[in-house]
Amino acid sequence: MNEAVQLTHISHIYGRHRVLYDVSIAIQPGIIFGLLGPSGSGKTTLIKVLLGILKPALGQSIVMGTRMPSLHQMKHIGFMAQSDALYPELTAQENMEYFASISGLERQSVKMRVKSCLETVDLTSSAKKQVSSFSGGMKRRLSLAAALVHDPDILILDEPTVGIDPVLRETIWKEFHRLTVEGKTIIVTTHVMDEAEKCDQLALLREGEVIVQGTVEELKASIKADSLEEVFLHYGRVTS
């Protein structure tokens, strides 16, 4: 099976600081893949390399058979960054309609997709409100809806549920799993263990290196652990 994403021997340095070292990850289509690690482990930098936003010192990123960066492939990718890229003077619906239009979504599909995505993140009642009045959690939810609006084949989400209440988080994760049934590929960065447990496969990053990767059950079995937190603590202590 062809990989949805293939990262090959990625290394990167900021000044004299090594942020990624020889990272190789292959992600199959139709799964949720988690990048797990503490702050500063290189997760966000790796996402930027994957998207072609950042050119690595070494290695390459291939998305659906195309080397990144590629404007054509970006039309098939939904990206939610850690910082919310929203227009505060516009309403939630106006933001959504704008992002739908620049993604190339057909005009007749825009209204339906905007409505569906706002429902997913429980913002229907706030659709006509200016984003400047939104709380941090509401902005995160709207950013997620914007990443979903053009029905991308690959979703790349950097800490997507930070600031979102537990009940809605559960609803959003159910939507993620529904999307994978449709064949979508979802890549999520997280440091939250209960979210990592919901992923089909994981890669644990520490100081810019992939320490271990596999399914949740494979990672637990590797050290005969009962929980993913034990795995995280074990490999987090491993030194090169």
Single-letter amino acid code for the residue at 45: T
For the stretch 13-30, pLDDT in tens is 988 899 999 999 999 999
| pLDDT level of residue 233 (50, 70, 90 thresholds) | confident
Measured distance between the N- and C-terminal CA atoms of the chain, rounded to whole angstroms: 33
User: Per-domain residue ranges for the chain?
Assistant: 1-74+195-240
| Lateral strand order in the sheet of 5-14 | 17-27, 5-14, 58-63, 66-67
Q: What is the pLDDT of residues 187-224, one digit of tens each?
A: 999 888 888 999 999 999 999 999 999 999 999 999 99
Report whether pLDDT(240) > 70.
no
The pTM score is 0.92
Question: Residue range 167-186: average pLDDT?
Answer: 94
DSSP letter for each residue of 140-200: HHHHHHHHHTT--SEEEEESTTTT--HHHHHHHHHHHHHHHHTT-EEEEEE--HHHHTT-S
pLDDT tens digit sequence for 31-45? 999 999 888 899 999
CATH code, 1-74+195-240: 3.40.50.300
